[in-house]
């Protein structure tokens, strides 16, 4: 009892101190320091640069995700990987040759793949497929876009005359833009028409200008709007960007 009491006596002042006004200010300054010096740098999502042996997991019938506990994460899929990824001779991966594609330096796709690394813990235990994998790829792509900005919000709702529009990324840089992320080939279907109408309305109202950004699908290798969607984007004067 005496021992517990002594500990309590030792902890109480410390707790009070950590919650004091001065303590909070120190924390805030430290956070600002971190934000100023680290957030503007490309993120490596917490993986060490030191290469190690790879481990992998098959996440679809013809898709494997390999990682080597470094920033290298490999999405290997028959016949497509080399189209988007530059082979890295220094890779120490143990994956089979055909699955041994390394991430290219600084490419957008590489950034995308790095973000997939954040999901590898889940992938190790629960192989993703179908719709679940679809969501992971979509989310990580949007996260990669958001990471380009010192500060940005994800999945931001805007009210429109036709209903709610949820923007994938809204940078907090005063630019008044939002980014709609699309992975793979995107066609002008019923849902896309609704999104376009709402984005057009938001721009016309001066609320926010949405830019559509297209990223290659790691599964099919396809990217961009179809011809019909491209024409619609141009007609509505909605800016777009196609990553290769």
Partner 1 sequence: MSVESTIAFYGIQFEVPASEVEQLELRCHPLLLKAKTASLQHYWANFGGIDPKYEILIGKKLAVLGLENSFEFVITCSELQAMIEDVRQKLLTAGFEDEPKLLIQYLPPN
- Site residues (CB under 8 A) for partner 1? 130-131, 133-135, 137-139, 141-142, 157, 163-166, 168, 180-192, 194-195, 198, 217, 219-220, 226-229
Euclidean distance between CA atoms 130 and 144, whole angstroms: 21
Question: 78 by DSSP, 3-state: which?
Answer: coil
Q: Residue 68 or 213: which CB sits closer to partner 1?
A: 213
CB of 150 to partner 1, least distance (A): 22
Q: Which pair of tokens denotes residue 48? A: 């060490």
CB of 88 to partner 1, least distance (A): 25
Which residue in 211, 237, 212 sits closest to 226, CA to CA? Answer: 212
Euclidean distance between CA atoms 232 and 211, whole angstroms: 13
CA distances from 193 to 197, 200, 213, 232 (A): 6, 11, 16, 9
Euclidean distance between CA atoms 172 and 235, whole angstroms: 28
Q: Residue 84 or 186: which CB sits closer to partner 1?
A: 186
CB of 225 to partner 1, least distance (A): 10
CB of 195 to partner 1, least distance (A): 7
Q: Residue 68 or 139: which CB sits closer to partner 1?
A: 139
Q: Residue 101 or 146: which CB sits closer to partner 1?
A: 146
Q: Which pair of tokens denotes residue 161? A: 């005359």
- Alpha helix stretches (DSSP H) within 107-189: 108-117, 120-125, 130-146
CB of 33 to partner 1, least distance (A): 33
Q: Residue 63 or 71: which CB sits closer to partner 1?
A: 63
């Amino acid at each position: 009892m005496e021992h517990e009491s002594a500990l309590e006596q030792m902890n109480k002042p410390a707790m009070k101190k950590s919650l004091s006004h001065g303590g909070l200010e120190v924390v805030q300054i430290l956070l600002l320091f971190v934000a100023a010096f680290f957030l503007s740098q490309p993120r490596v999502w917490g993986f060490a640069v030191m290469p190690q042996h790879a481990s992998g997991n098959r996440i679809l019938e013809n898709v494997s995700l390999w990682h080597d506990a470094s920033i290298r994460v490999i999405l290997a899929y028959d016949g497509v990987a080399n189209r988007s990824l530059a082979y890295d001779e220094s890779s120490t991966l143990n994956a089979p040759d055909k699955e041994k594609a390394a991430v290219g330096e600084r490419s957008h796709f590489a950034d995308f793949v790095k973000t997939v690394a954040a999901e590898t813990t889940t992938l190790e235990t629960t192989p993703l497929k179908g719709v679940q994998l679809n969501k992971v790829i979509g989310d990580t792509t949007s996260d990669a876009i958001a990471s380009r900005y010192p500060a940005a919000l994800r999945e931001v709702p805007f009210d429109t005359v036709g209903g709610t529009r949820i923007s994938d990324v809204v940078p907090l840089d005063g630019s008044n833009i939002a980014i709609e992320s699309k992975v793979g080939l995107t066609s002008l279907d019923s849902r896309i028409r609704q999104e376009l109408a709402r984005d057009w309305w938001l721009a016309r109202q001066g609320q926010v200008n949405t830019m559509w950004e297209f990223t290659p699908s790691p599964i099919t290798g396809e990217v961009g709007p179809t011809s019909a969607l491209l024409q619609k984007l141009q007609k509505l004067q909605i800016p777009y960007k196609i990553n290769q």
